[in-house]
Copies of this chain bind each other. A is one copy, B any other.
Amino acid sequence: MDKGKDVTIYDLAEKLNISVATVSRALKDDPVVSKKTKKKIFELAEEMGYRSNNFARNLRTQRTNTIGAILPRLNSYFMSTVIAGIEHVANSQGYNLIISQSSESGEKEQQCARTMFNNRVDGLLVSLAYDTDTIRHFDSFLKKDIPVLFFDRCAEHDQITSVLIDNRKAAYEATKHLIAQGCRRIVHITAHTSRNVYTERLAGYRQALEENQLPFDGSLIIRNNLSQEAGYEAAKDILAMPRLPDGVFVANDNCAVSCMLALKKQGVSIPADMAFVGFNNDPVSMVIEPNLTTINYPGYEMGEVAARYLISHLMGGAPMTATNTVLLRSELIIRDSSLRNP
């Protein structure tokens, strides 16, 4: 138990006068080692404070027991909830988790991917950045049969499974709800990007309009980065419209909330003048007054599902290519911000 030095299987073997091979096997609970010997070894290991050296093992086995996660940002409610879910599963399955953020930059994302690759993660979970326009930086993984899985912000790839919700359907229902509440001019605030989640939401919005014989009007689409500041700006844009809209569907709660605050300050009454629907069910949606109608979006569960899926594959489950997409349930939560016919 002296200070600097670690106990190795060689120390154990020597002390017990057996070979390191037996010690190694015993510690893995290999059934080929006799119970008696195992017991001796476990006891001594405990006593001497043995801990296995992962590097030696990784070096030999060419596996790392580590999964990597690349996220657009860490400090958003949704993403941190997803991470919590990922961490929970990874940890309970004995996997380490290394995390890095792309800060919504495609370039940084490539760099993160390189780092993950060099660290030889066994598998990779990715949610794409706003401005990622190619996913070739994951080819090196696929070429080595390292599984890659997208969640939430996904792209099409026949070797990469995606875990997400049906964004189109969710947006369709959100918009339909607004229409049912009597809205006829509905603004849609979305991101300035072609990321799936936003194009799908836009598509759902259009679909709902069409099905209700409402015209699609490009001037009602506001594109920004969905940040809090962008919400204030969007409010200005809305107020500057020649004819005010009577409904707003925002692709993100955060932005919806700040937009509502700004509009309220200018005397707009919500939902009477303008009904609002957001997306994400961020806790802030329950704080804003009136409470924000939104799409409940299971972040924690998404993290869990993605991690579980990846790990079960790593442990020798079904090949990833079998499944292309895993859809999680989402739901519209109706609150006061959109209720005009109580």
In the bound complex, residues from chain B placing their C-beta under 8 Å from that of A117 are: 51
Given contacts A3-B144, A257-B287, contact A81 B75 (CB under 8 A): yes
Of the listed stretches A98-106, A199-207, A213-221, A239-247, chain B binds A98-106
State the Cβ distance, A216 to closest chain B Cβ, in Å: 31
A76–B283 alpha-carbon span in the complex (Å): 11
Are B99 and A84 interface neighbours, CB within 8 A? no
Given contacts A81-B75, A257-B287, contact A52 B118 (CB under 8 A): yes
Nearest first, the 7 closest Cβ-Cβ pairs linking A and B are: A80-B80, A55-B59, A55-B58, A75-B84, A74-B84, A75-B80, A55-B55
> Does A87 count as interface, using CB distance less than 8 angstroms?
yes
Are B100 and A87 interface neighbours, CB within 8 A? yes
**Contact code string A1-16 (vs B, CB < 8 Å = 1, else 0):** 0011000000000000
A61–B267 alpha-carbon span in the complex (Å): 66
A56–B53 alpha-carbon span in the complex (Å): 12
A79–B75 alpha-carbon span in the complex (Å): 8
A53–B119 alpha-carbon span in the complex (Å): 8
Are A96 and B98 interface neighbours, CB within 8 A? yes
State the Cβ distance, A118 to closest chain B Cβ, in Å: 5
7 contacts between A and B (CB under 8 A): A4-B145, A51-B118, A55-B58, A55-B64, A66-B98, A91-B112, A284-B287
- From B51, B144, B283, A228 is in contact (CB under 8 Å) with B283
Are B284 and A283 interface neighbours, CB within 8 A? yes
> Does A143 count as interface, using CB distance less than 8 angstroms?
yes
**Contact code string A127-170 (vs B, CB < 8 Å = 1, else 0):** 00000000000000001110000000000000000000000000
A144–B1 alpha-carbon span in the complex (Å): 11
> Does A288 count as interface, using CB distance less than 8 angstroms?
yes
- From B100, B143, B257, A97 is in contact (CB under 8 Å) with B100
Q: Which residue of B has the minimal Cβ distance to A3?
A: B143
A269–B257 alpha-carbon span in the complex (Å): 23
A98–B67 alpha-carbon span in the complex (Å): 10
In the bound complex, residues from chain B placing their C-beta under 8 Å from that of A120 are: 53-55
> Does A261 count as interface, using CB distance less than 8 angstroms?
yes
- From B53, B76, B99, A99 is in contact (CB under 8 Å) with B99
State the Cβ distance, A105 to closest chain B Cβ, in Å: 13
Q: Which residue of B has the minimal Cβ distance to A111?
A: B91
A100–B143 alpha-carbon span in the complex (Å): 30
A259–B287 alpha-carbon span in the complex (Å): 11
In the bound complex, residues from chain B placing their C-beta under 8 Å from that of A258 are: 287
**Which residue, A73, A84, A112, A117, has most C-beta atoms of chain B within 10 A?**
A84
Given contacts A55-B64, A283-B228, A284-B284, contact A91 B100 (CB under 8 A): yes
> Does A83 count as interface, using CB distance less than 8 angstroms?
yes
In the bound complex, residues from chain B placing their C-beta under 8 Å from that of A273 are: none
> Does A237 count as interface, using CB distance less than 8 angstroms?
no
Q: Tell me the residues in window 263-312 of chain A with beta carbons closer than 8 Å to chain B beta carbons.
A: 283-284, 286-289, 300
A79–B286 alpha-carbon span in the complex (Å): 21
A288–B257 alpha-carbon span in the complex (Å): 10
Q: Which residue of B has the minimal Cβ distance to A69?
A: B99
Q: Tell me the residues in window 76-126 of chain A with beta carbons closer than 8 Å to chain B beta carbons.
A: 76-77, 79-81, 83-84, 87-88, 91, 96-101, 112, 115, 117-120
